[in-house]
Amino acid sequence: MSFRALGLDTNVLRAVDAAGYTEPTPIQTAAIPLILAGHDVIGIAQTGTGKTAAFVLPILAKLAALIGAGQKRGIRVLVVAPTRELVVQIEENVRAYGRYMSVRMATVYGGVGEHPQIQALRSGVDIVVATPGRLLDLMGRKNGDFSGIQFLVLDEADRMLDMGFLPDIRRIVKALPTKRQTLLFSASLSRDIEQVTREFQHAPKIVQIGKRANPAETVTQFVYEVPKHLKASLLLHLLKEPQMNMVLIFVRMKHAADHLADHLDHKGIRTATIHSNRSQSQRLRALKDFKSGAVRVLVATDIAARGIDVDGISHVVNYDFPMHSEDYVHRIGRTGRAHAVGDAISFVTAADYGALRALERFIGRGIVRKRAEGFDYQGAVAQPGDGDERPYRSKQLSPAGHGHSGHSGGSGHKQHRGQGGGHQGTKARSRWGR
Ligand code: AMP
């Protein structure tokens, strides 16, 4: 199957050529003709399958036809996505695939000044790519004319529901014309998603790629069983492997992301972090440094990592095992993208066995247990990042003055801190000052 056979317009085909794609991915082959034919489409596909191009390419082709037919310019396309990172990534896709057309686009998301976004909306654009909160905010104050919308895309709809955006999306969609083409993409088809599609779509066609919620086949998955206090040493041990040249590490908590990044930096491994306490420009900078190879390791939390689209990630490390199986699937989808192969490594402590079993049921197969060669499992040198976590948690969970955890947590905490060295006390993070 070729892109040409899918019925795309010449300028879009040129851009696909320039992107170096030789053949459409399965989601593209299935979705593009349906979208070109004017159907509402539900696309069940994970990140890494080429789903962004699956909606951007046909929408651009249709937009080119409308513009070519002399239709009055105005906002025709609205794409709503859960995170700023994803919005930026979709924007990059639109720019790449629209490079031989005269489409104008605005992006709208929180965490940055709204003035340039308002200006952009007023200046006359064809496409708006937005997160729900800021978009609703700006629409509520009558910025931009959305009465001419012909295409609505809800990307990563499952994640938007998880993040509680449904009420915002309802209000946004209410303000749009009912006669429009609506495309919805989601990693899985849950009852909630079905409800949303009934609400927002008309006679949608479903396109489902691969088994539901199954991690990409190209990713090799391993589990390392490791006592919690040895996780940081094990990570350092594994990072000695030269093949681990572009490593995305997931942790559960923001503060743990900073601790771990500090620790790795301290050990001579240049590391960036991405989590919701970082400003938008810091996040973009982190992604840029990671993409360019200026840093070899990116430490991220789940929410912040949504929409990270970086080619060539060699390894995903679940430093903290994900609490939800869906998060695991999303995380490891960051490697093995398109036609590459990648490794997904998960650290599992005694507390994670339940979640690991649930995950294996969820993905319908067992994950290979590995032991790290040459790693001293007995060498119980406590690592700062790890040692800090346990006492924090027990402190938070137990009522004030609870004898047991208060005692053991307190002493363990101090001890690990002491061994962690002074660098943790230095709060200024020089990596952003570069
Ligand atoms: P996505 O699923 O949209 O996040 O896309 C995953 C990656 O696949 C992106 O880096 C795209 O640039 C790339 N990609 C999209 N379509 C193709 C294709 N037909 N051939 C090769 N790579 C592609």
**CATH number, domain with residue 364:** 3.40.50.300
Helix 280-292, helix 84-97: angle, nearest 10: 60
Closest-CA residue, ligand 1 atom 14, reads 50
Do residues 94 and 129 touch, judged by C-beta distance below 8 A? yes
* 187 and 57 fall within a common domain: yes
pLDDT grade for 217, boundaries at 50, 70 and 90: low
Dihedral (CA of 388, 389, 393, 396) sign: positive
* 16 and 141 fall within a common domain: yes
pLDDT grade for 336, boundaries at 50, 70 and 90: low
| 415 in any annotated domain | no
* Residue 157, CB-side half-sphere exposure with 13 Å CA sphere: 30
Lowest mean pLDDT among 87-91, 172-176, 355-359: 355-359
| 309 in any annotated domain | yes
pLDDT, tens digit (0-9, with 9 covering 90-100), for 248-305: 999 999 899 999 999 999 999 999 999 888 888 888 899 899 989 999 999 999 877 7
Which residue of 21, 51, 331 sits with most ligand 1 atoms within 8 Å of its CB, as the best mutation to test the pocket?
Answer: 21
What is the percent of the chain where pLDDT is above 70?
82
pLDDT, tens digit (0-9, with 9 covering 90-100), for 13-51: 999 999 888 888 889 999 999 999 999 999 998 877 889
pLDDT at 210: 57
The gap from C-alpha 243 to its chain's centroid, in whole angstroms, comes to 23
C-alpha 48 – ligand 1 centre gap (Å): 6
pLDDT at 239: 95
Residues with Cβ within 8 Å of 229's Cβ and at least 6 positions away in sequence, in order, are 380, 382, 383, 386, 387
| Residues of the domain holding 250 | 219-396
- Residues in contact with ligand 1 by the CB-under-6-Å rule are 21, 24-25, 28, 47-53, 309, 311, 337-338
* 294 and 353 fall within a common domain: yes
Closest-CA residue, ligand 1 atom 11, reads 50
Task: Provide φ and ψ at 31, rounded to 5°.
Answer: -85, -35
Count how many domains the chain has: 2
| 421 in any annotated domain | no
C-alpha 335 – ligand 1 centre gap (Å): 12
Do residues 426 and 261 touch, judged by C-beta distance below 8 A? no
| 301 in any annotated domain | yes
pLDDT, tens digit (0-9, with 9 covering 90-100), for 338-389: 445 568 999 999 999 999 998 887 777 778 888 998 998 886 554 444 433 3
**What is the β-pairing status of strands 315-318 and 271-274?**
unpaired
* 238 and 346 fall within a common domain: yes
pLDDT, tens digit (0-9, with 9 covering 90-100), for 227-262: 999 999 999 999 998 889 899 999 999 899 999 999
Mean pLDDT of the chain: 82
* 54 and 171 fall within a common domain: yes
pLDDT at 389: 33
* 159 and 271 fall within a common domain: no
C-alpha 71 – ligand 1 centre gap (Å): 31
Closest-CA residue, ligand 1 atom 12, reads 50
C-alpha 57 – ligand 1 centre gap (Å): 12
* 199 and 288 fall within a common domain: no
pLDDT grade for 430, boundaries at 50, 70 and 90: very low
Residue found by looking up tokens 């996505």 in the block: 81
Integer Cα distance of 104 and 100 in angstroms = 12
C-alpha 86 – ligand 1 centre gap (Å): 14
Tokens of 230: 């040895």
Highest mean pLDDT among 161-165, 306-310, 341-345: 161-165
The structure's pTM equals 0.57
* 184 and 252 fall within a common domain: no
Mean pLDDT for the stretch of residues 87-104: 95
Task: Provide φ and ψ at 42, rounded to 5°.
Answer: -105, 115
* 184 and 253 fall within a common domain: no
Lowest mean pLDDT among 66-75, 132-141, 158-167: 66-75
Closest-CA residue, ligand 1 atom 16, reads 50
Give the E-state strand segments of 283-407 in sequence order: 297-300, 315-318, 342-348, 368-370
Query: Which one is predicted more confidently, 72 or 110?
Result: 110
Closest-CA residue, ligand 1 atom 21, reads 21
Q: How many CB atoms lie within 10 A of CB 65?
A: 12
* 229 and 372 fall within a common domain: yes
Q: What share of the chain is helix, strand, coil (3-state, %, to 5)?
A: 45, 15, 40
- 111 three-class SS: coil
Cα–Cα distances (Å) from 27 to 41, 159, 214, 267, 429, in that order, read 11, 19, 15, 42, 42
| 385 in any annotated domain | yes
* 133 and 240 fall within a common domain: no
Last residue of a domain, one of 182, 208, 234: 208
Which has the closest alpha carbon to 308: 80, 82, 24? 82
Last residue of a domain, one of 208, 228, 262: 208
DSSP H or E segment with residue 184: strand 181-186
Task: Provide φ and ψ at 301, rounded to 5°.
Answer: -100, 165
